[in-house]
Amino acid sequence: MKVPLLDLKAQLKTIEADMKKSVLEVLDSTQYVMGAKVKELEEAVAAYTGAKFAVGVSSGTDALLIALMALDIQPGDFVITSPYSFFATAGVIARLCARPVFVDIDPDTYNISPLALKAWFASNKADAAKVKAIIPVHLYGQCADMDAILETADERGIPVIEDAAQAIGSRYPSKFGVKKAGAMGAAGCFSFFPSKNLGGIGDGGIATVNDEAFAKKIACLRNHGAEPKYYHSMIGGNFRLDTIQAAALLVKLPHLDKWHSMRQSNAAYYDEHIKTAGVKKPAIAYKREYHIYNQYVICVPERRDLLRNFLASNEIGCEIYYPVPLHEQECFSYLGYKAGDFPNSEHAARNSIALPIYPELTREMQDFVIEKIDDFYK
């Protein structure tokens, strides 16, 4: 049996007619850049996340970049984030000639550790004033502990940018009530890369914001800082969202909660039936229904690569997110970090592997995955 890591064709079959109709409407309109559907998507995503505003942009990476630009991050400023994330989280900081500062993750949730964050400020008092932003990552579809992170940030007047690239629709039980990812910090940054739970048919992203002036600034920056056209109050970039992406996403958005539920059901099935000793299943920090399972990541100490090869030999798709933590990437060697500085992130990078979790996955497919994991350990 062949079990892919992700099967976008299976999803497309359920919405194909609506997708083609929506895309052809864009083609006929000739409004290919920032057409009416972009505004429609922005309003829909703002309503879905509980944020007051949303600004469509060209990718999740650019959502992070433009949020930092809107905060006026300058060369030499410190921005704290996790060393266990997709490269863009730290890459956008470095692109602005600011300094990525890493703190370790919680070993169970893989999200940035609020205790490690507090400890950094306690032991780096001379540099605390240089910190101009904090970027927690809601990794794999589960929110970071935002109350604790925001408390540390608010005490120092530091804005928090949520890297919610993998987390649209995930929820967090805050002290102010249940909140969705992207509605808690100064901005939430989402990716619409095709593999995401809400994926486009190419690159795309969006930034969610609660402050109107900040939203207007992001909207201005995405179009070279021009407002009105040809009059530039600031230097921005070409970060616009193509209308065809908005059209596709508007078709998918009404299905998103159903797809989340299917992923949660698949995760529950894995949790119940993977009983192999030595396999650590994903932690549920809050409630299962708050976790959207963009990935289902298990930890298999010391045997991860062998397991990956074994699953691949049985035509089971799997992936390693992420094999090299950011502080060990060659391009960040100038930061002065070394192996051993962030043991939880390093352990996750060396021992974790993602299994298929997409909504259309069948129980027969899951049983096959579970059987082969068990076979590997016999």
Per-residue pLDDT of 202-251, as tens digits, reads 999 999 999 999 999 999 999 999 999 999 999 999 999 999 999 999 99
Inter-residue contact 105 to 97 (CB < 8 Å): no
* Whole-Å CA distances, 317 to 228, 311, 312: 49, 7, 6
- Which position has the token pair 């409630």? 287
Integer Cα distance of 149 and 136 in angstroms: 8
Report the amino acid identity of residue 203: D
How confident is the model over 135-162, as a mean pLDDT?
Answer: 98
CATH ID of 8-103+110-254, from 1.20.120.420, 3.40.640.10, 3.40.1110.10, 3.40.462.20: 3.40.640.10
Peptide linkage before 228 cis (omega within 30 of 0) = yes
**How big is the CA angle at 172 (ends 290 and 256), to the nearest 5 degrees?**
45
378 pLDDT tier (thresholds 50, 70, 90): confident
Give the tens place of pLDDT for each residue, 252-270.
999 999 999 999 999 999 9
Find, among 174, 207, 69, the residue nearest to 132 by Cα: 69
**What end-to-end distance do the CA atoms of the chain give, in Å?**
20
Integer Cα distance of 122 and 202 in angstroms: 43
**pLDDT for the residue numbered 203:** 97
Handedness of CA 214, 215, 220, 224 (dihedral sign): positive
Inter-residue contact 92 to 326 (CB < 8 Å): no
Integer Cα distance of 199 and 143 in angstroms: 19
How confident is the model over 115-119, as a mean pLDDT?
Answer: 98
Give the chain's radius of gyration (CA, Å): 21
Would you say residue 302 has pLDDT above 90?
no
Q: How crowded is the C-beta side of 48, counted as CA atoms within 13 Å? A: 25
Give the tens place of pLDDT for each residue, 74-87.
999 999 999 999 99
Write down the domain spans for the chain.
8-103+110-254, 255-377
Per-residue three-class SS string for the chain: CCECCCCHHHHHHHHHHHHHHHHHHHHHHCCCECCHHHHHHHHHHHHHHCCCEEEEECCHHHHHHHHHHHCCCCCCCEEEECCCCCCHHHHHHHHCCCEEEECCECCCCCCECHHHHHHHHHHCCCCHHHEEEEECECHHHCCCCHHHHHHHHHHHCCCEEEECCCCCCCEEEECCEEEECCCCCCEEEEECCCCCCCCCCCCCEEEEECCHHHHHHHHHHCECCECCCCCECCCCCECCCEHHHHHHHHHHHHHHHHHHHHHHHHHHHHHHHCCCCCCECCCCCCCHHHCCCCCEEEECCCCHHHHHHHHHHCCECCECCCCCCHHHCHHHHHHCCCCCCCHHHHHHHHHEEEECCCCCCCHHHHHHHHHHHHHHHC
Give the tens place of pLDDT for each residue, 323-359.
999 999 999 999 999 999 999 999 999 999 999 999 9
Report the amino acid identity of residue 68: L
Q: Which two tokens stand for residue 332?
A: 């960040």
Integer Cα distance of 54 and 49 in angstroms: 9
Q: Which two tokens stand for residue 175?
A: 């002290």
Inter-residue contact 57 to 249 (CB < 8 Å): no
CATH ID of 255-377, from 3.20.20.80, 3.90.1150.10, 3.30.465.10, 3.30.1110.20: 3.90.1150.10
Backbone phi, psi, residue 326, to 5°: -60, -35
Q: Do the domains 255-377 and 8-103+110-254 match in fold?
A: no
